[in-house]
Structure 1
Amino acid sequence: MSRQTAPDPSRRSQQSRAAILAAAADLVSEVGFAKLTIEKIAARAGVGKQTIYRWWPSKGAVVFDAFLAVSEDASGSLALPDTGDLAADLRAVLRPTADELTDPAFDNTGRGLISEYLVDPDLLREYRERLLDPLLEVTRDRLRSARTAGQLPADTDLDLAVDLLYGPMYYRWLHGLGAVDHAYADRLVAAVLRALGATDGAADGAPDGG
């Protein structure tokens, strides 16, 4: 007589959580952030609303986790290359950033999440701790390495440098001021390195095609 194994509650919870995140990612692409509701996510995932609220306090929190799950699957671990060619290494992070910002699925999600960050301090803190701050820190580390190597002046303000790299791109995307593409990313890297007083070798690396 075979012995039946009791269902594993943790496995069931993991499956429900994955279904919720997948439903949120699909729905925000289909209907947009503004029209997305917890009820729609629950119906698509096949769970009750209370199951969602057990893990997330708001629609924005669910969508943010769904966005992170998709981003991690697509890009893997967060890191910048350190090849010795500072311009090329910065292009290697700004070009994918441009691609992400101009992806139609991200555009709706990103703008919706920004509106949530402005009114939800807890969600803003999550965004800072889990996404923005790690990105800025790895970029700061790469610039610090270049400063140590003499490619940037010894008094380079690294906080200002990362603001100069990412700020214009997000400003241009958010306000629809023009193309956010590889060509713009390359021009931005060159302009920032010139403004920082990078050595010729660091500032003038010729971008590869694209």
Structure 2
Amino acid sequence: MAPTKAPDSSRRSDRSRRAIHDAALALVTEVGYRRTTIEGIAARAGVGKQTIYRWWPSKAAVLMDAFLDLAGRAAEDAGAGSGSGSGDTGESAPGIPDTGDLAADLKLVLRATVDELNDPALEAPTRALTAEGIVDAKLGAEFVHKLLDPQLALYVTRLRAAQEAGDVRADVDPRIALELLIGPLMHRWLLRTLPLTHAYADEIVDYAVGGLAPRA
């Protein structure tokens, strides 16, 4: 008889983690953060509560991990779809191109952000975690630290490179300048005042870059 192959525990764990992630995201989309429970996630994923508690200390930790995994996969898919580009261009940081044309580079990134915010798979959990982070200071701080800060750091790096190239005034604080780009986008998305479009993202960049450029 051929030897029986032992089950792959790591593969089983990966399947369980993915099932828990998917269940958590589905529930927070359907019923909201507050009505999502560990019991509900476990039932939806087909696992025991102790399986979840073995890997995560709380509901917030499960949802944060699930959302970070989802955002990471979305970023990988976007990167694979966009290709490596053409020509000899530098890169200030992963995900932020540095072609020497600041406005074009920022438009590319903001358009991708618009696509993510309009993606139904990302929109609902993003809204749920954003809203809960306003009233739950600990969750909000974790959301900022793990998700927002790494993304904002990419803008800071690109804007500093633009300063060194003479495309942005030396007295501009990159951390404040990036809020001219991100702030209007998030404001329109959160309030749903008007459609979030590529054209709007382009206009934000044109207005912001015009104000950041060196003055005669």
Into which bin does the TM-score normalised by the smaller protein fall?
0.7 to 0.9
RMSD: 2.4
Using CA pairs under 8 Å that are at least 6 residues apart, name the structure with larger relative contact order, 1 or 2.
Answer: 1
- Within 5 Å, give how 1:35-184 maps onto structure 2: 35-76=35-76, 78-184=94-200
Matched residue type, 1:73: R
Are the aligned partners of 1:60 and 1:113 in contact in 2 as well (CA < 8 Å)? Answer: no
1:16 aligns with 2:32: no
66-75 or 138-147: bigger deviation: 66-75
Relative to 1, partners in 2 of residues 1:172 and 1:140: Cα closer, same or farther, differing over 3 Å? same
Relative to 1, partners in 2 of residues 1:94 and 1:199: Cα closer, same or farther, differing over 3 Å? farther
Deviations 1:89-143 (A, max 9, x none): 0011111111222223333211210122234444333322321111111111111
**Displacement of 1:6 after TM fit?**
4.8
**Displacement of 1:4 after TM fit?**
4.4
> Counterparts of 1:150 and 1:4 in 2: how far apart (Å)?
67
Query: TM-score normalised to the size of structure 1?
Result: 0.82
> Counterparts of 1:195 and 1:185 in 2: how far apart (Å)?
16
Equivalent residue, structure 2, for 1:191:
207
Q: Secondary structure at the match of 1:118?
A: helix
Deviations 1:21-73 (A, max 9, x none): 12223444455545533223211211012222332333333222222222212
Unaligned 5+ segments in structure 1 are: 201-210
Unaligned 5+ segments in structure 2 are: 80-93
How many corresponding residue pairs?
200
Q: Secondary structure at the match of 2:171?
A: coil
Query: TM-score normalised to the size of structure 2?
Result: 0.80
Relative to 1, partners in 2 of residues 1:116 and 1:161: Cα closer, same or farther, differing over 3 Å? same
Matched residue type, 2:62: V
50-59 or 174-183: bigger deviation: 50-59
Q: Secondary structure at the match of 2:97?
A: coil
Identical aligned residues as a percent: 52
Are the aligned partners of 1:34 and 1:112 in contact in 2 as well (CA < 8 Å)? Answer: no
Q: Secondary structure at the match of 1:47?
A: coil
Are the aligned partners of 1:118 and 1:124 in contact in 2 as well (CA < 8 Å)? Answer: yes
Q: Secondary structure at the match of 1:177?
A: coil
**Displacement of 1:9 after TM fit?**
4.3
178-187 or 118-127: bigger deviation: 118-127
Q: Secondary structure at the match of 1:100?
A: helix
Relative to 1, partners in 2 of residues 1:142 and 1:46: Cα closer, same or farther, differing over 3 Å? same
> Counterparts of 1:199 and 1:70 in 2: how far apart (Å)?
42
Are the aligned partners of 1:117 and 1:123 in contact in 2 as well (CA < 8 Å)? Answer: yes
Q: Secondary structure at the match of 1:92?
A: helix
> Counterparts of 1:93 and 1:114 in 2: how far apart (Å)?
21
Relative to 1, partners in 2 of residues 1:198 and 1:21: Cα closer, same or farther, differing over 3 Å? farther
